[in-house]
Structure 1
């Protein structure tokens, strides 16, 4: 180690300390500059993240609005579906009632048809019994009544047959009357001596009235002028 004076060593120490201090300060400034740059970079990224977050928030709000709209539409569709379901149930109930009414009407129609057939059968039986009891109806050789035989005959051959009818269905021509009536002999007929005609006006007591409306005693009648 050189034998330098003390003040030299002091200067050397001071210089070394200054150099070390300068190195430390430079390193510190460099670190601060790097930190500032890093901070600015982080702030920039943070601002970009804010924009991204804002955009994502806006998108989320839009999606939420759409979801709410879809939810409202779903609720409306559900309500309409429920209404249609109720209408369908009411329609099915009305259809069931209509089917029951139709079955009742069919039963009524069937009973009415059966009653009509029974009435027609009863009427035929009554007509058949009436034909059996009626002496005017005679059964022909082929099992047909006289009325049916008359209907089967031609129009020009049909003649009414009635045993109780005194009129001859095929009358013969009457013989010529040989008696000659002379119109002049009518003057010789006997004339009633009573001058009062049968259509003489009478009052409420049955007394005869003259042409002037006065009652005439019995046995007296005004002479005709």
Structure 2
């Protein structure tokens, strides 16, 4: 019984120490799959209604906890590629990078599960626009972003997580230098990640 009590105490101490290390971890990096699903709200140009297809790629996050319930999250990713349809026909494609900075509020519920909400600012870079027989240009976009998510601690330094963001992205489209209208992409972005805390 004495040995069992000692073993139980040691296990309890190791769990408490692991939790303390996790609480002391100010920085974390996360990597995983991010899926961008545009809502294409109110997207209509001189050429007709525009729809932007989904895109999936590697998503990256850097997070810093500056208070017990607050952190700053920086979203990055490899470029997402999207097909563009005008009046139902696929006519073009583009790539974009959506760096987003958000302030997160953590509910700090007891246990390994962490729930959070937040908001911030997005800057979207468009690149490598392709349009058969013409020059397509999409202007960069600045807009607000919101996020809800969770992380689950797998140990003192590792966690897994998932989050859902809504990002307001509006771009002005030009063909051969002529403005043809604006495109409201406004995507939902879902990410599933593995995190390392240090």
Q: If the TM-score is normalised by the length of the shorter chain, which range does it land in?
A: under 0.3
Calculate the TM-score normalised by the size of structure 2.
Answer: 0.24
Calculate the TM-score normalised by the size of structure 1.
Answer: 0.21
Q: Which has the higher helix share?
A: 1
Q: Which has the bigger relative contact order, CA under 8 A and spacing at least 6?
A: 2
**Higher CA-based Rg:** 1
